[in-house]
Structure 1
Amino acid sequence: MKPGLDEFAANDRIRQLRKTLGLTRDEFAQKTGIGTNQLSNLEHKKQKVYAWHIEAISHVWPQYGYWLCTGEALPDAEQISPEGEEEPLTHLKVAEPPPKKR
């Protein structure tokens, strides 16, 4: 491993994402398919993050996939980080289509 790299950095990013989304471990686990106990182990750095964890989370929130892996955002590629989010993203609503004209 390169000097200065934290082998548990992805664990910290998972916890940060969950908290930014305003989700409990149970809610996050239910949405991603990662078990609640396993999520707790990941967040407490008792277990390293595997590729399938990143894939499971990215399936639900694809905009965070690159950030989860690298800790960096690529806004031009619609890959963002939760840093600077002012409110939990669970409150965002999808725009409804305009009403049909008669």
Structure 2
Amino acid sequence: MDMGRTRFGETIGVSMRTLEAIERRGSSPRSDVLEPIARKWPEYSYWLLTGDTIPEKGHISPALAKPRDSSTDSVEAS
């Protein structure tokens, strides 16, 4: 996922204020933030909640994801 905070917030429908609070204050994201991320990128949902990956089950982290061709990416793709 190579996108800035603004595009990320727009993509998942979360305000900049909420994202900034999570990043700057170390706030834990609530389900209203985690759920749209998990729906958009289901392959990351297990990692997002546990910090663990199970690649053979399709549960990966962004670091394990194959790079995508940015020329074919849209706001829908990461």
TM-score by length of 2: 0.75
Structure 1 unaligned blocks of 5 or more? 1-20, 95-102
Q: 1:55 to 1:90 in 2, by over 3 A?
A: farther
Aligned to 2:76: none
Once the two structures are superposed, the pairs formed by residues 12-91 of structure 1 within 5 Å of their partners are 21-84=1-64, 87=67, 89=68, 91=70
Structure 2 unaligned blocks of 5 or more? 74-78
Cα deviation, 1:41-87, whole Å, max 9, x if unaligned, reads 11113532112211110111111000000101111221101225574
C-alpha RMSD over aligned residues = 2.4
Q: Taking every aligned residue pair, what percent have the same amino acid on both sides?
A: 26
The separation in 1 between residues aligned to 2:54 and 2:43, in whole angstroms, is 9
Larger Rg: 1
